[in-house]
């Protein structure tokens, strides 16, 4: 847990600091650098980063690798030079399940926004799953689909629960966001999961913080518990 909290602290620093520089890495030809937490528990797989150009962001990809040969198996979906902010391998974090069959990958897609991708890994293949969304669970819609909501920051945190052979894929998710909404009634709908911040010139600024336990089911779907109030910035 201390290591996991350190990773979250890094992501929070990267996401909320307006002056934190982009983390770049110039990759050598053929270099696939393992990301933070990228080695699977079974020792047979890893997640590695590779890019091109001086900043390492051109043609950037994350790949599933076979270990210990460190041989590329496939490119992961939804991580590329269009949706990353950083290129350094230590700006990406992987959290593997104990059985090395599921991996959650976190990275900055914007300066204040962290993206969470979850993949089911079967041999040489990694399939992108639909990630949990506590805001959607409460409101019935995603922020991306809402024209009346702007995202100022978004930092999800995915942590595997202590291993239980009877339920090996249980996890805990925290979902922290700062939003600007046209409709002040959104705050009432979110209830104890949100609080009002100072009024923004563009609308009503809202801090949303929720957490819940979840489980990845054998069919690849995710079952989430009821969202509970999370911690707000000044109480962390």
What's the domain range around 198? 132-236
Last residue of a domain, one of 129, 159, 186: 129
Same-domain status, 122 and 9: yes
Under the banding of pLDDT at 50, 70 and 90, the label for residue 120 is very high
- Among residues 98, 129, 160, the one where a domain terminates is 129
The C-alpha angle with vertex 85 and arms to 76 and 51, in degrees rounded to 5, equals: 55
For residue 159, the model assigns a pLDDT of: 94
Whether 69 and 2 share a structural domain: yes
Last-in-domain residue among 77, 94, 129: 129
The answer to whether residues 145 and 211 belong to one domain is yes
**Does residue 217 share a domain with residue 146?**
yes
Provide the pLDDT for residue 19: 45
Task: Tell me: do 108 and 148 sit in the same domain.
Answer: no
What is the total count of domains within the chain?
2
In this prediction the pTM is 0.88
* pLDDT of residue 73 exceeding 60: yes
Q: Are residues 163 and 210 in the same domain?
A: yes
pLDDT tens-digit profile of 136-178? 999 999 998 878 899 999 999 999 998 777 777 899 999 999 9
Q: Are residues 145 and 54 in the same domain?
A: no
């Amino acid at each position: 847990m201390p290591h996991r909290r350190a990773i979250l602290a890094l992501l929070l620093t990267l996401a909320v600091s307006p002056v934190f520089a982009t983390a770049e890495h110039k990759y050598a030809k053929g270099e696939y650098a393992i990301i933070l937490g990228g080695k699977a528990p079974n020792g047979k797989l890893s997640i590695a980063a590779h890019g091109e150009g001086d900043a390492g962001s051109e043609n950037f990809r994350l790949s599933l690798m076979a270990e210990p040969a460190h041989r590329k198996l496939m490119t992961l979906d939804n991580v590329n030079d269009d949706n990353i902010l950083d290129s350094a391998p230590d700006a990406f974090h992987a959290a593997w399940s104990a059985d090395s069959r599921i991996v959650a990958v976190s990275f900055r897609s914007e300066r204040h926004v962290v993206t969470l991708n979850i993949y089911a890994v079967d041999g040489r293949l990694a399939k992108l799953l639909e990630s949990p969304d506590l805001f959607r669970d409460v409101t019935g819609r995603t922020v991306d689909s809402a024209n009346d909501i702007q995202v100022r920051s978004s930092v999800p945190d995915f942590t595997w629960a202590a291993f239980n052979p009877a339920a090996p894929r249980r996890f805990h998710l925290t979902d922290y966001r700062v939003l600007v909404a046209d409709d002040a009634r959104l705050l009432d709908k979110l209830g104890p999961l949100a609080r009002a911040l100072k009024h923004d010139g563009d609308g009503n600024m809202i801090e949303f913080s929720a957490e819940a336990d979840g489980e990845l089911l054998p069919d690849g779907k995710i079952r989430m518990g009821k969202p509970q109030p999370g911690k707000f910035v000044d109480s962390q």
